[in-house]
Structure 1
Amino acid sequence: MEQGSYSVGLDIGTTKIVAIIGRENEYGKIEVLGIGRSKSLGVHRGVVNNITQTIKSIQQAVEEAEANSGLKIASVVVGIAGQHIRSLQHSDYITRSDSEEVINEDDLDQLCNQVYKLVMLPGEEIIHVLPQEYKVDGQAEIKQPIGMYGGRLEANFHVVVGQVSSIKNVGRCIKSAGLDLGNITLEPLASSDAVLSQEEKEAGVALIDIGGGTTDLAIFKDGIIRHTAVIPFGGGVITEDIKEGCSIIEKQAELLKIKFGSAWPGENRDNEIVSIPGLRGREPKEITLKNLSKIIHARVVEIIEQVYVEIKNYGHEEQKKKLIAGIVLTGGGSQLKHLKQLVEYITGMDTRIGYPNEHLAGDSEEAIASPLYATAVGLLMNALKNQYKEKSVSQNIENEEEMAYAGHEPETVGATKVKKERKSVFDKWSEKLKDFLDNAE
């Protein structure tokens, strides 16, 4: 099977790296052909801090996915997160030279490119420029201004910013692992594609993706992304606290958290005890589950409160900005027992756990439908979407060329010819990054 008929998503996390190969079946669902995962060494809080280790982990995950599927991986879509990501709101406008002509895609491009020229802090670069609502000659709340008349075109933008060096390091790891970089996507956006429904995005929803090193937040309202944030804490700090609080090694702390951990201390009775084998013949340690859940509870409350501050910063308490669909929890950390109840208690918002199974074909392995793989499934969806776009663009161009060869004018839609799909600003940025990596030795 040639690479054209399947795509690959690569999730480079703090605790694990996942490569997932899939294709779209005839019902528009995603058929997972192979999955590979490896322990992530060399990534701290979502940022690569050891290139050699990260390359090795990527290669392991990719080889496992190739072995499972019997396919060869050439190009991947990668997620970016990490504590260096921040977002801001920005408004901008352009004055059109001819208000007698209708607004077209070139005007939107011009407006987006203008936002790109914003002066950032040293070492930072804009990753995503996401238009929210447009205004035409003062008329507000326009979602799609193409085809309208107007002299002044304004828009509010959600701008996502990241550190150039961190992004280039991810690109370098992909290239050194012998892969092509198909695209880079912000991880909270990928997770939201996998676990949120369009109705939730319309009603207003906050997606909280609790990973190993970071907790990602994406807020949607009226179908548009309104706020993103990356909080530099995740499941890893909970494990760290258990390790310190119970004086045990990390592996044991992680197992304790997964098997017996609970975010609600009232759940366990005082006489519930778990015994941990001692190191090298030392006495075993006895830990009460009540103490364990107290340690977990303290740290989880801290993470949720930080996320809730971000939700309040967005303006959830204003009537117009209310998030009616509440909160969706996903990521490995969302599997902690009684976390849903604790989040509801702290925020007072309806909460559910987000599983990426809605977009997967019925015969997919059960393991893949776990919140653990939400980002990887979202990245695979993004890769398939890009592939579909490229196909339709090349199809359009071929049709035009055939018509021109046969002596016909290409079909016109309104006053414009059928032309190449408009590249998003982010696609152009990805190309710039690829060029940089190709030239850098």
Structure 2
Amino acid sequence: MEKENIAVGLDIGTTKIVAMIGKKNEYGKLEILGVGKSKSLGVARGVVNNITQTIQSIQQAILEAENNSGYKIKDVVVGIAGQHIRSIQHTDYISRHNPEEVIGGNDIQLLIDQVNKLAMLPGEEIIHVLPQEFKIDGQSEIKEPIGMYGGRLESSFHVVVGQASSIRNVGRCIQSSGIELSGLTLEPLASADAVLSQEEKEAGVALIDIGGGTTDLAIFKDGIIRHTAVIPFGGNVITDDIKEGCSIIEKQAELLKVKFGSAWPGENKDNEIVSIPGLRGREPKEISLKNLSKIIHARVVEIVDQVFTEVKAYGHEDPRKKLIAGIVLTGGGAQLKHIKQLVEYITGMDTRIGYPNEHLAGNSDEEISSPLYATAVGLVMKSIENKTHSAIRIDAVEQPKAPVYRQVVVQTPVVDEIPDKEEEDQSSNEKHNSTVNRIQRNFFDRYVDKIKDFLDNAE
């Protein structure tokens, strides 16, 4: 029986951990088979700071996803974020021995390998090397160099760098949870896959993913990633401000923010008041919704200002001319009332809320279509792209074993290693169109192997 291409994404966030199992249906849309969600304990601002608690949270999310779907998870594609992430622009070139020979994937791989040898700050490692535009013998703006001729192959690269220890801690948590790591991807890139259209990426767009601990930014122009950044503030600092400003506990502050919060104070009338139950028989506390909105507004303005500074650094003071598609907001923070209007007011750029439902099958649960799950959906899409078989049916796992005397010590060939005719045709088309993507994936496979080796040696 042929293996199903079941994909699994794991979003390790500051406030929540989401395990999502999915597959492509016959219409090419993503069908979500199961979702598991747990409170994230042990992660602060996107970085693991308590391994034991993080393992417990991952196991809880994985178990819930397995129970909901009827599939047993083997491996996952994980999102990397956190305040330790930074990005740099770099240009590099190689001189080819024979200019009369056609440029192939090996030449691009050679160029990428050269960039991977760049000296980083102590304790830092390169996560992504993303080729942008190529130059061949001085001819610029070449997006697909394969098949061309030339002596000097040059490219500009978007290089994403992170703390090696933080990345290895994530790998360690996953391995200790009893599953394998099949791939790593930068979270804003995963969110971008889930909520942005190709037209927006061509026209120029800034994706702002407002999470619990961090706010991630990814800028695209001409279909190419141009800039990424992670701002170490998110929805949690808004909750903390409400807690301090209204003298209430964190649970009540979060509930107030979600149910009654608004980023625009003018929307609330002076006489709108909500009553909070007192602790252990104390008098209830009355809170003005106008004051609540003022607290939220002040912090959201601060976050948006920081993100917009990054956007302006790319767009040279007037990003509106460069980024025609404007801004797309996603993540849990994008659900805050009137945040779209506030971002438009501060930046002067067209803004919309990004929902992942464009890629989801029509019968998908409404909750999954929320901006809250954009990163998880993007990670499942990345897992599908890698053609992983990340989960198998639980009933297939729990079949009774053959008697000992019938066992034969012969390895069964893995079905997914023998591509059928349709897959071969598809891969020959993809070979032409997505060389750069394939090379990035090759790099990631090697990177994941490197983390596995490190973890094995550490044990």
Q: How does 1:214-229 map to 2 (within 5 A)?
A: 214-229=214-229
Shift in alpha-carbon separation, 1:150–1:389, aligned structure 2, 3 A: farther
Match of 2:446 among 412, 423, 428: 428
Any residues of structure 2 matched to 1:170-185 within 5 Å, and which? 170-185=170-185
1:125 maps to 125
CA drift of 1:429 comes to 1.4
> Relative to structure 1, is the Cα distance of residues 353 and 392 closer, same or farther in structure 2, using a 3 angstrom cutoff?
farther
1:407 aligns with: none
Distance, in Å, in 2 between the alignment partners of 1:202 and 1:30 is: 23
1:402 alignment counterpart: none
Pair 1:10-2:28 in alignment:
no
Contact 2:3 2:415 in 1 (8 A): no
3-state SS of 1:146 partner? coil
Number of aligned positions between the proteins: 421
Q: 1:293 is matched by which residue type in structure 2? A: S
Match of 1:238 in 2: 238
Q: Return the letter of the residue paired with 2:80.
A: I
Provide TM-score, normalisation by structure 2: 0.88
| CA–CA distance in structure 1, aligned partners of residues 322 and 79 of structure 2 | 29
Match of 2:295 in 1: 295
> How much does 1:440 deviate?
2.1
Q: Work out whether residues 3 and 416 of structure 2, in 8 Å CA contact, stay in contact via their aligned partners in 1.
A: no
Unaligned runs of 5+ in 1: 400-410, 415-420
Deviations 1:283-334 (A, max 9, x none): 1111101100000000000000000000011125468970000000000000
| CA pair 121-43 structure 1, distance change in 2 beyond 3 A | same
Q: Which amino acid aligns with 1:354?
A: G
Residue 357 (structure 2) aligns with? 357
Distance 1:228 1:10, change over 3 A: same
Deviation at 1:261, TM superposition (A): 0.2
Aligned to 1:105: 105
Distance in 1 separating the partners of 2:160 and 2:39? 28
Q: Larger relative contact order (C-alpha < 8 A, sep ≥ 6)? A: 2
8 Å CA contact 1:275–1:284 kept in 2: the answer is yes
Q: TM-score with structure 1 length normalisation?
A: 0.92
SS in 1 for 2:220: strand
Q: Distance in 2 between matches of 1:298 and 1:321?
A: 28
Equivalent residue, structure 1, for 2:213:
213
Offset of residue 220 of structure 1: 0.2
| 1:7-86 superposed matches below 5 A | 7-86=7-86
**1:381: how far off?**
0.5
Aligned twin of 1:144: 144
2:31 touches 2:360 (CA, 8 Å); kept in 1?
yes
Q: 1:426 to 1:245 in 2, by over 3 A?
A: same
> Which residue of 1 is the match for residue 408 of structure 2?
none
Aligned to 1:417: none
Q: Is the 8 A contact 2:4 2:389 kept in 1?
A: no
Matched residue of 2:153: which SS? Answer: strand
* CA–CA distance in structure 2, aligned partners of residues 427 and 313 of structure 1: 32
Indicate conservation of the 8 Å contact 2:5/2:388, yes or no: no
> Percent of pairs identical after alignment?
76
Q: Which amino acid aligns with 1:427?
A: D
Separation of aligned partners in 2, 1:318 and 1:347: 10
Contact 2:20 2:36 in 1 (8 A): yes
Alignment partner, residue 331 of structure 2: 331
Partners of 1:134 and 1:145 within 8 A in 2: yes
The residue that corresponds to 1:266 in the other structure is 266
Q: Is the 8 A contact 2:3 2:389 kept in 1?
A: no
Query: What secondary structure does 1:297 align onto?
Result: helix
Structure 2: which amino acid aligns with 1:36? G
Give yes or no for the alignment of 1:386 onto 2:404.
no
Map of 1:115 onto structure 2: 115
Deviations 1:365-389 (CA, angstroms, capped at 9, x unpaired): 1110000000000000001110169
Deviations 1:77-100 (A, max 9, x none): 110100000000000011111111
- Higher mean C-alpha displacement, 430-439 vs 120-129: 430-439
CA contact (8 A) 2:312 2:319 kept: no
- Alpha carbons of 1:241 and 1:173: their partners in 2 closer, same or farther (altered >3 Å)? same
Does the Cα contact within 8 Å between 1:137 and 1:150 map onto a contact in 2?
yes
Say which is worse superposed, 225-234 or 385-394, in terms of deviation: 385-394
- Output the CA distance in 2 between the equivalents of 1:200 and 1:30: 20
Letter in 2 for 1:204: G
Match of 2:399 in 1: none
- TM superposition shift of 1:395: 4.0
- Give the Cα–Cα distance (whole angstroms) in 2 for the partners of residues 351 and 393 of structure 1: 43
Q: What corresponds to 2:397 in structure 1?
A: none
SS at match of 1:366: coil
* CA distance in structure 2 between the partners assigned to 1:357 and 1:434 by the alignment: 34
Counterpart for residue 406 of structure 1: none
Task: Tell me the alpha carbon deviations over residues 93-136 of structure 1, each in whole angstroms, 9 at most, x when there is no partner.
Answer: 11111111111111100000000011000000000000000111
Determine whether 1:440 maps to 2:454. Answer: no
Q: Which residue of 2 aligns with 1:256?
A: 256
* Separation (CA, whole Å) in 2 of partners of 1:394 and 1:98: 35
SS in 1 for 2:280: helix
Q: 1:345 to 1:40 in 2, by over 3 A?
A: same
Give the AA of the match of 2:204.
G
| Structure 2 counterpart of 1:188 | 188
Letter in 1 for 2:274: V
Equivalent position amino acid for 1:426 in 2: F
Confirm whether residue 341 of structure 1 aligns to residue 334 of structure 2: no
- Letter of the aligned partner of 2:169 in structure 1? N
Q: CA RMSD in A?
A: 2.1
Q: CA deviation at 1:426?
A: 2.5
In the alignment, the residues of structure 1 paired with residue 175 and residue 57 of structure 2 have an alpha-carbon distance, to the nearest angstrom, of 14
Q: Is the 8 A contact 1:3 1:74 kept in 2?
A: no
Q: Contact (CA 8 Å) 1:221, 1:321: kept in 2 or not?
A: no
